[in-house]
Chain A
Amino acid sequence: MTDRASVLEGWYRRLLRVYPAEHRRFYGPEMVGVLMHQAEPGRRFPSFAETADLLRAGLAARLRSMPVRQRGTGWRDAAAVVALLGAVVLLAVPARSLVFGARAHWQFGDPMHGFGLDGGLLLDVAVRAVAWLTVVVALLAGARRTAVVLGAGAVLVELAAVAVWLPEQSLRPFWMSEVLTAALITVPLLFAARRTRPVTAVLGRRGAALAVTGVLVAVAAAGADRWWILPPQVLGLITVPDAVVLVAVVLVLWSLRSLGRRTVERVAVLLAPIAAALVAHALAEVETMVPAEPITPGALLGLASVLVGVPLAAFAVALVVLHVTESYTFVVARRVDGNPE
């Protein structure tokens, strides 16, 4: 091989690095052969068109090889699981308010009576709870496509529940922001999981029942501070409701034990934005509870960007962590096989 040819080949090999390792291993030697065959004699560098073609095709191959685009990699099963967990959270949150509200209503009368809206708050949470209950029932019955339609309907119910209280309750979108975020994440997951196995097959019937129970108990116990201001502590370390939340979370994790490691990791990635929405909401709620300043459009915009941006950022970070972990595992596995790259 002449010097020029070896320089050119070096360039081609460097350009091929834009392809995913798997693709390069399979097609690399063959592609270098074709590229060298096609090259005009005496050429030292790849032409602009050739470079552009390799970069475009290489990046497209990388995009295709991204885990979220692949089938049978656990993403759809993970989507099915997280969609169920999301739908149960969305059922549990208004159901909890319904129970507490009904109790308060019975003890002290309707707080909205003065506004001429008898039972308005109860109706709000009751309709939302029923909307998500239908989604959960459809999922447990294996009716995945019906669940997508019911989920979309439930999102409309949530949006309506914000709209009917405006403009009197201008902060309502923020009180409900974690619910809206969770709803807007859950529905695409329902859609993504519409063709995979039913969640009762993914987790097993007992696993699904455990997951549903765990989430219901966790959400109920997390809201116990509304009626139990000074709950007793367990061994002076943790309050009873917090301990119940912990046990319930363990129950949910236990329900995932039948899943493979890959799917569990994907469940974590898909849960990250919902968890981030809950945390962002808790922090933002503290901010908005300070009554000194009137709510300005700028403050609202900032709050909205935090509530949308934080879940997105959490998802991106979780995805990057997963990608890095899997690349590392892949390299280690290949080295163990005695077949280093």
Chain B
Amino acid sequence: MTEPPLREPTFLVLTALAAEPQHGYAVLEDVARMTDGRVRLRAGTLYAALDRLRVDGLIEVDREEVVQSRLRRYYRLTGVGERRLAEETVRLRSQATIAERRLRSRQTEIGGAPA
């Protein structure tokens, strides 16, 4: 059965964790950095995504630390999460390729030069 497409916050959280295990706040910063500040996740949205991903087995807890008397829980991508992110990346790329091809032919038709 084909999985439904990932929502953008979920995709971005998985991408953030693909590099290395990270704690919640680091994921927020990473997502903002990856998107040039376009996506600034809030705590509620972040933890909704983390919870769903953890329940579905796409991520798991890596370790816990206490820094300045605050709990920091690090999450890492699981094998399932890695496969899911790879599938989603292929899907997005193929859609982007189609869109790109159509835009290019459109520009040729109307006489514009491809960028």
Q: Which of A35, A55, A57 is within 8 Å of B45, CB to CB?
A: A57
Could you tell me if B73 and A30 are in contact, using CB atoms closer than 8 angstroms? yes
Could you tell me if B70 and A49 are in contact, using CB atoms closer than 8 angstroms? no
Nearest CB of B to A196, in Å: 17
Cβ-based interface call for B24 (8 A): yes
Nearest CB of A to B29, in Å: 10
8 pairs from A and B in contact (CB 8 Å cutoff):
A23-B51, A30-B73, A33-B25, A34-B28, A36-B70, A38-B28, A56-B44, A58-B44
Could you tell me if B51 and A35 are in contact, using CB atoms closer than 8 angstroms? no
Could you tell me if A57 and B71 are in contact, using CB atoms closer than 8 angstroms? no
Nearest CB of A to B39, in Å: 13
Could you tell me if B25 and A38 are in contact, using CB atoms closer than 8 angstroms? yes
Q: Which residue of B lies closest to A50 (CB)?
A: B42
Cβ-based interface call for B84 (8 A): no
Nearest CB of B to A282, in Å: 45
Please classify how large the interface on chain A is, using the bins under 10, 10 to 19, 20 to 34, 35 or more.
Answer: 20 to 34
Nearest CB of A to B69, in Å: 9
Could you tell me if B71 and A30 are in contact, using CB atoms closer than 8 angstroms? yes
Report Cα–Cα, A60/B45, bound state, in Å: 10
Which residues on B sit within 8 Å (CB–CB) of A130?
Answer: none
Q: Which residue of A lies closest to B42 (CB)?
A: A53
Which residues on A sit within 8 Å (CB–CB) of B48?
Answer: 57, 60-61
Which residues on B sit within 8 Å (CB–CB) of A35?
Answer: 43
Chain A residues numbered 43-97 whose CB sits less than 8 Å from any CB in chain B: 49-50, 53-58, 60-61
Report Cα–Cα, A33/B43, bound state, in Å: 10
Nearest CB of B to A65, in Å: 10
Interface residues as binary, B68-110 with A (CB distance below 8 Å gives 1, 0 otherwise)? 0011110000000000000000000000000000000000000
Cβ-based interface call for A29 (8 A): yes
Q: Using known A-B contacts A33-B24, A34-B24, determine if residue A57 contacts B47 with beta carbons closer than 8 Å.
A: yes
Chain A residues numbered 24-43 whose CB sits less than 8 Å from any CB in chain B: 27, 29-38
Could you tell me if A54 and B51 are in contact, using CB atoms closer than 8 angstroms? no
Which residues on B sit within 8 Å (CB–CB) of A50?
Answer: 42-44
Q: Which residue of B lies closest to A57 (CB)?
A: B44
Nearest CB of B to A13, in Å: 13
Nearest CB of B to A125, in Å: 42
